[in-house]
Structure 1
Amino acid sequence: MPSIKQFQVTFDCAEPEPLARFWCEVLGYVVPADEVGPAIGCVDPTGVGPRLYFQPVPEGKVVKNRLHLDVRTATGFAGAERVAVLEAEGARLAALGATRVRLLAADEENESCLLMQDIEGNEFCLD
């Protein structure tokens, strides 16, 4: 039996197109020209990252995500320099409509990360 090497991340959402366009800006993804319909996908133009798919659902988000994306924006940085990189990217994404939730400070096991929410309230981390 062959092993699976590709996957897609699917978002249930109220408004697929604005959410897809938000994540395209966050990740440098693009919406393929052939995407039509109420649901919409976006892809990494380099072909490396997974496809993201946004589908409309009638119910709104009620509780914390059980799964979230970590956007690797400060890899290789530590301490105050890492926090500065996280805050700068957080400010860029806030200008796109994201919400800054809180900075999770470094501890004995983990470096700092910035908890945020996308334009529909889905949590993600700048890591």
Structure 2
Amino acid sequence: MPRTPRVLVVDDDHVIATTLALILSRNGFEAVAAFSGPEALQHAYKSHFDVLLSDVVMEPLNGVRLAVIFRNLNPVAKIVLFTGTEDAAQLMLAAANAGHDFKILRKPIHPGTILEELREQCSEARSV
């Protein structure tokens, strides 16, 4: 039987992070919510996650920088970022210029879209 994919959900908006984690947990994922980049790293250092699902614009550690650190900790993990602001474009461009290519979704995002994306990411990981 395949292992349940573990997702670390990160957003500085507690309602968004908690709601996404709940939706994922009810749809075949094991999800943990974190409310900042530093908190997410604490989880990542303690436990393995198959996917990082993170907001981009956060302080003190933005989602792009978090994703880079997370990728270094777990090179095979899938990373999906989301944002509702144009500020993220410069962060994403800087990451791409440094050789980091992350999937990005635009807010508002329907939960079905997130579920579809994560299922696709996890199925790609299993087929490798």
Would you say same fold, with TM above 0.5? no
- Structure having the larger proportion of residues in strand: 1
